[in-house]
Amino acid sequence: MSPRESLGLLAAWLLLAACAVAGVDGPAITAANITLGSHVSGPVVPRTELDGRVVVLEFWGINCPPCIASMPKLEDLHRRFGSQGLLVIGAHAQGGTADEIRRTVAELGVTFTIVEQATVAGAMNFSGIPHCMVFDHTGACVFRGSPGEAHDVIETAVQESPAAVLGGRTFSKLASLAELAKNEALRGSVLRKAQAVVQSKDAETAAEARFIVERLTERGTDMLARARRLADSDPAAAAALAQRCSTVFKGTDIGAAATALVGGWRRDKEFQARVKLGQQLDRLQALEAAALSVPGGVPPQAVGQAREIARAIEKGWPGSDYATKAATIAADLEGEP
């Protein structure tokens, strides 16, 4: 490589690293980047079917034991959440004929869509399978990595999608209010308005209002419960979720409970220290994505920076999930050519 080329790569790395520090993961990876390749089994999915839906795209192979173990879990997600807009696609990425793939799929009892030669532009830098990608209903890629770590992300994405909020009901009297509920930012307001008409003398209006109140109350309560469950393992995610719940459901009992929870966590110095460690892990993950996208291999600067962040996280919270994930990322980057 010439000195000019070396300088060019260094400049590219420095730019990408700056983006990573700022929390920007290079060019956005979205569902629009997906090319589905050729259909093998299950429902045929037109490209337009990806729009507005939560999409799970998992790269797998018939000769990969961890992939085979993951397939029944994907089938369970498909059966549980398919009616709420979840689209599960298995992207075969190993050798094997279409007939061999179909036989394996049949033996596993898989009914979701299976394709071959699928790609995701800008996101094919993984080296092993199974590799799971999750896209929310806006098309944004909200997860990339091991399927074992994707379940909560998938469930959250489904629960937050418009199709799941008030699904299973047709509205006639409160149709406009139900439409507003699809916008998360308006759900607190919608809940208050629905609560105001649950005692309506019109039976149909009252019934629709009760349904809206029940569903939105369930959504807010679940949001708060998930934040509490995450507090011990992922304080940064817990704090962000609780704050979102407080904002979305402002003016309701759920919002008040979320505000109290956020306030308590803000006064907890140890919790706040761990939130900052979670933010450092986010920075490290962005740094990894930036480093892997540099032509010619991972820059030495990225490896050094990753080591520093991983050491800081281990020192701040030894043995935690944050520390384990950080150490894995640092080791992976060090092993990259």
Helix (H, G, I), strand (E, B) or coil at 198: coil
Helix (H, G, I), strand (E, B) or coil at 39: strand
Of 212, 211, 162, 167, the C-alpha closest to 185 is 162
Torsion on CA atoms 21, 22, 25, 30, rounded to nearest 10: 160
The Cα 214–Cα 315 span in angstroms is 45
Taking 50 as the pLDDT cut, the residues of the chain under it are 1, 3-12, 14-15, 19-26
The Cα 298–Cα 74 span in angstroms is 33
Select the CATH number that applies to the domain covering 31-159 from these four: 1.10.1060.10, 3.30.70.20, 3.40.30.10, 3.40.50.300: 3.40.30.10
> What pLDDT shows up at residue 7?
43
> What pLDDT shows up at residue 122?
82
**Cβ-Cβ contacts under 8 Å for 149 (sequence gap 6 or more):** 143
- Count the Cβ atoms, other than its own, within 10 Å of residue 64: 17
> What pLDDT shows up at residue 296?
74
Phi, psi of 326 (to 5 degrees): -65, -45
The Cα 11–Cα 14 span in angstroms is 5
Q: Give me the DSSP letters along 240-300.
A: HHHHHHHHHTTTSHHHHHHHHHHHHHHT-HHHHHHHHHHHHHHHHHHHHHHHHTSTTS--H
Q: How far is CA 63 from CA 67, 92, 115, 133, 145, in A?
A: 8, 10, 16, 20, 19
Helix (H, G, I), strand (E, B) or coil at 92: strand
Q: Locate all alpha helices (DSSP H) within the chain, ordered by sequence.
A: 3-21, 65-81, 98-108, 151-159, 162-165, 175-180, 187-195, 203-230, 235-248, 253-266, 269-292, 300-316, 321-335
- Count the Cβ atoms, other than its own, within 10 Å of residue 203: 9
> What pLDDT shows up at residue 3?
44
pLDDT tens per residue across span 104-149: 999 999 999 999 989 998 888 887 899 999 999 989 999 999 998 8
The Cα 190–Cα 170 span in angstroms is 17
The Cα 5–Cα 28 span in angstroms is 26
> What pLDDT shows up at residue 24?
40
